[in-house]
Amino acid sequence: MKPASKTPDWVLAALEERHQQNLMRRTITLESPQVPHAQIASQDYTAFCSNDYLGLANHPSLIKAMNDTAETYGVGGGSSHLVCGHLAPHQALEEALADWLGYERVMLFSTGYMANLGVISALADKNRPVVQDKLNHASLIDGALLAQAPLRRYLHGDVASVQKLLTKSSAAGLLVTDGVFSMDGDIAPLAELSQLANQYDWMFMVDDAHGLGCLGENGRGCLSLEGLDSASLPILVGTFGKAFGTAGAFVATSHDYADYLTQFARPYVYTTAMSPAVAGATLASLQLIQSVEGQERREKLARHISYFRQRMQSLPVELIPSNTAIQPVVIGDSKTAIAISEQLKTLGIWCTAIRPPTVPVGSARLRITLSAAHSDEDLMLLCDSLEKVLTAKLLSAKRLNPM
Ligand code: PMP
């Protein structure tokens, strides 16, 4: 009999290094839905780490739409969109999204990660560089790597730094930014970036995963906040795993780009279409986002954001200038961030510590995310608990270092 294969030493060494640096990642199993309250190992917590910003993931209309669509169309698409996986619910969702955002076409992708890989790897290559914000999401960076395109990253949100790179570049390419930055919650200067892209004849793409549904008129995201449209922002990516409360993603664009991506975006061509039942639930979500209830949920979220920021003002914490649902409290080193997250758990608050390489070294943080599903009491508990834990931390740091 062949001996059982041994785990290579380099795998074990890499794991040990992660352990030593307090950077080990593990999954956590929830015994309940994820927001506003989550049960883990039979303990109840108020959760502040979900991207379900509008609290739609458990909404009865979405659950009903998912069940109804599954009854009619089944739960699986059975193939890619280009073989037999593009069913009526997919088409209806694409058309409704295109209408909502004012684009000629929308294409669905199975995840946001794949949408970004697909679009960038199809549009960039060795001769068409990619210029990106330093804090862009990993999937945007990975798209440029997959394209084997020259990749330049500019200082976060710094338009002068973009202009320098575009001026220096020998060829035009693709300028890409997050709309709302996933780990900081601030918003990119989209109107200025769009102008620069236009001036230098570069393609312009925005990933508004965290803005769509939450921001702007009718929840149309950064696009609407910054006064852009399909002409000034020709390639817009959105995801459904956040404010929409489901899963999957889309690209809103022109007929020409959509036809091109249909030929050349490999993560579109070579993968199974999202479940038609998820497409049905996402359409119900889009209808809610556009309704009075959607507006009320956005307003509630906005009230939570302003209450949270006001309460944090008196605390010894570094807050990032963010007016979105993402309200990070930057701690610094990973060990302390983990310790604070654990202390919050003892007070019934669940918020995972986000550490490098997801965020820059030395900026480990509690990525606190607020949701319209939270009540005012939930917010109060969060702020009271942070006050307790962070004040105690400050006092103990002073004792250790009295200067
Ligand atoms: N873009 C951004 C800005 C994100 O934050 C994320 C995921 N958190 C993605 C894309 C990936 O989306 P998905 O989870 O649908 O793969």
pLDDT tens for 286-323 read 999 999 999 999 999 999 999 999 999 988 888 899 99
Atom of ligand 1 lying closest to residue 139 CA: 10
What number is the average pLDDT over the span 388-402? 70
> Cα of 188 to ligand 1 centre, how many Å?
16
What number is the average pLDDT over the span 172-180? 98
pLDDT of amino acid 395: 64
pLDDT > 70? residue 124: yes
Which residue from 239, 271, 354 has its CB within 8 A of the most atoms of ligand 1, so it is best to mutate? Answer: 239
pLDDT of amino acid 401: 53
Catalytic residue from among 59, 86, 90, 242: 242
> Cα of 384 to ligand 1 centre, how many Å?
31
The number of beta carbons lying within 10 Å of the beta carbon of residue 360 is 12
CATH number, residue 336: 3.90.1150.10
Strands (E), 126-234: 130-133, 151-154, 174-178, 203-207
| Alpha carbon distance 183, 181 (integer Å) | 6
Nearest Cα residue to atom 15 of ligand 1: 112
Same domain, 74 and 182: yes
Same domain, 343 and 281: no
Same domain, 246 and 356: no
On whether residue 21 sits in a domain, the answer given is no
Catalytic residue from among 110, 121, 139, 182: 182
Name the residue among 154, 147, 145, 142 with its Cα closest to residue 111: 142
Same domain, 212 and 126: yes
> Cα of 120 to ligand 1 centre, how many Å?
14
Same domain, 79 and 197: yes
Q: How many domains does the chain have?
A: 2
| Alpha carbon distance 323, 305 (integer Å) | 7
Nearest Cα residue to atom 5 of ligand 1: 182
User: Is 5 an annotated catalytic residue?
Assistant: no
| Alpha carbon distance 367, 350 (integer Å) | 11
Strands of the sheet with 249-253, listed across from one edge = 105-109, 249-253, 235-239, 203-207, 174-178, 130-133, 151-154
Same domain, 157 and 211: yes
What number is the average pLDDT over the span 128-142? 98
Q: CB within 6 Å of ligand 1 — which residues? A: 111-113, 116, 137, 139, 178, 182, 207, 209-210, 239, 241, 249
> Cα of 387 to ligand 1 centre, how many Å?
31
CATH number, residue 246: 3.40.640.10
pLDDT tens for 229-251 read 999 999 999 999 999 999 999 99
User: Is 210 an annotated catalytic residue?
Assistant: yes
User: Is 182 an annotated catalytic residue?
Assistant: yes
Same domain, 191 and 286: yes
- Domain end (from 259, 290, 321): 290
On whether residue 10 sits in a domain, the answer given is no
Enumerate the known binding-site residues for pyridoxal 5'-phosphate: 112-113, 182, 210, 239
Which residue from 110, 111, 137 has its CB within 8 A of the most atoms of ligand 1, so it is best to mutate? Answer: 137
- Domain end (from 260, 290, 320): 290
pLDDT tens for 78-122 read 999 999 999 999 999 999 999 999 999 999 999 999 999 999 999
- Domain end (from 290, 309, 324): 290
Name the residue among 286, 289, 309 with its Cα closest to residue 372: 289
pLDDT of amino acid 41: 96
Same domain, 365 and 216: no
Range of the domain at 364: 28-57+295-398
pLDDT tens for 51-66 read 999 999 999 999 999 9
Same domain, 43 and 132: no
pLDDT of amino acid 397: 64
b/e 137-160 (16+ beta carbons within 10 angstroms → b): bebbbebbebbebbbbbbebbebe
